[in-house]
Amino acid sequence: MFNVICTTAFFALLPSLLFNYFLNYPLYVLLIILGLLIELSYLYYLSRFKQRFNISRIIFAGSSYAFLILNYFYNSGINGPTLLAFFLTYTFLIAIFSRKTYPVWTALHIVTGASLLIISFFNPESAHYSYLGEGARVTDFIVTYVTMLLFSFFALDFIRANYDYEKKSATDKAHAIEAHNKELEKVNSEKNKLFSIVSHDLRSPLNTIQSYMELLSSDLLDAQEKAVAEKELLTLTKNTSDLLFNLLSWSKTQMEGVHAKLREQNLFNILAGTINTQHAIASQKDISFTNNISKTASAICDEDMVQLVVRNLLNNAIKFTPTFGKITVDTIQTDKEVIISISDSGKGIPLEQQKEIFSLKIRSTYGTNNEKGIGLGLVLCKDYIELQNGSIWFESVPNEQTVFHISLPRAQA
């Protein structure tokens, strides 16, 4: 605001300079040039570039009073337009100083103005009558009035524009905070639901595992029954382990934040162990498993994240594919990306769940052999793929097929 006042005052004084030059008032012209234009330029420089705003506005206030008092006595006193400038100066001092100084400026203006008028009343000769005729006096009033009016317009317009901008900015921030709070409430609600489901889904298999362990440690089962119990126990333990691993991984991303370590990776090499392990698990359900990952497929990615994502997607494929089903892993390479596709001949994703498959709006699900899950792995997959500048999507036909696609930036040769 102070910088705008300095700039506006500089240009507002130019008409007065020209007017006094043509009226042949050399002393007044010199006063404007030396006392005001140069001073305003210096104060602008001091405030804008030297960041010394406080000293600048104090000098501005003091010099304004000195100039107006001098101008009052030199430019015809009560017969001149100086008192008009007093009102404008008061407005600007109110604008650039803090509210606690308002009584000081108000009292100072009242005392200064009243004192000048009293002096003129008791000593009319104290003010030099500078006009050559009534026409010059009227012209001076017109020039001063128009100058003060324009000066007020530009300065007050800036104040109003700045006020509107700050008000809009504050309103936008308030709306943003409100929206953010609503989003946080929504996320917290979903997290509470998540942990409620997790605690329930962990309690059930752990109780079952405990029951199997108690049976196995007793002499109530024959050899065949023990073999069946051991197989069920292994399946339950694996599913519970997968659930815990996904929960801990997701919790870590929420609490600490995870950063992808991106580097060029050969997808065939880094996924070989993960795919072989899942192949062995699929064979226990007599599921046909085909690995068509190209040995030349290379991507810019994080090895651990890609392994976790593929492991989760293959786990789901095995879980929801019936005995004698089929799972295929393929890769497609384009100029800019490598796409990994995992397809299965399972029961697919219900249409009402497809829109929320990557969100925390999750629920307990059961595989073809009653393998339990809550969908947290897919939320983790989406987060990890996006951290690697990739994308994930799916196509699913209920009771027929599901295909998940992972796109990663391709490593150029």
Q: What angle do CA 185, 187, 189 make, to 5 degrees?
A: 65
Cα 103 from Cα 111, distance rounded (Å): 12
Mean pLDDT score of the chain: 80
Residue-wise pLDDT tens digits, 44-95? 888 888 888 888 888 888 888 888 888 788 778 888 888 888 887 888 888 8
pLDDT on residue 45:
86
What count of other Cβ atoms lies within 10 Å of the Cβ of residue 42? 13
pLDDT on residue 407:
94
The residue among 285, 218, 149, 400 whose CA lies nearest residue 226 is 218
pLDDT on residue 236:
66
Q: Reduced to 3 states, what is the DSSP secondary structure of residue 257?
A: coil
Beta-bridged to residue 339, according to DSSP, are 332, 407
46-55, 76-85, 235-244, 383-392: least confident range: 235-244
Cα 220 from Cα 207, distance rounded (Å): 19
User: What pLDDT band is residue 404 in, cutting at 50, 70 and 90?
Assistant: very high
Give the side-chain half-sphere CA count within 13 A for 95.
22
Residue-wise pLDDT tens digits, 15-32? 666 766 666 666 666 666
250 vs 10, higher pLDDT? 10
Asked whether the predicted pLDDT for residue 373 surpasses 60, the reply is: no
User: What pLDDT band is residue 106 in, cutting at 50, 70 and 90?
Assistant: very high
Q: Are 402 and 343 in contact (CB under 8 A)?
A: yes
Give one word for 348, left, alpha or beta, with left for phi > 0 and alpha for psi -120 to 50: left
147 vs 411, higher pLDDT? 411
Q: 210-226: string of b/e by CB count within 10 Å (b at 16+)?
A: eebeeeeeeeeeeeeee
Q: 54-64: string of b/e by CB count within 10 Å (b at 16+)?
A: eebbebbbeeb
Contacts of 293 (CB under 8 A, 6+ apart): 267, 268, 271, 275, 329, 330, 331, 340
Q: Are 390 and 409 in contact (CB under 8 A)?
A: yes
Give the total residue count for the chain: 413
Q: What is the mean pLDDT of residues 251-264?
A: 72
Q: For residue 114, count CB atoms less than 10 angstroms from its CB and return exposed for 0-12, middle for 13-18, buried for 19 or more.
A: exposed
DSSP letter for 410, please.
B
pLDDT on residue 25:
63
Residue-wise pLDDT tens digits, 263-318? 999 999 999 888 887 888 888 888 999 999 999 899 999 888 898 899 889 988 98
Give backbone dihedrals phi and psi of 91, rounded to 5 degrees, phi first: -60, -45
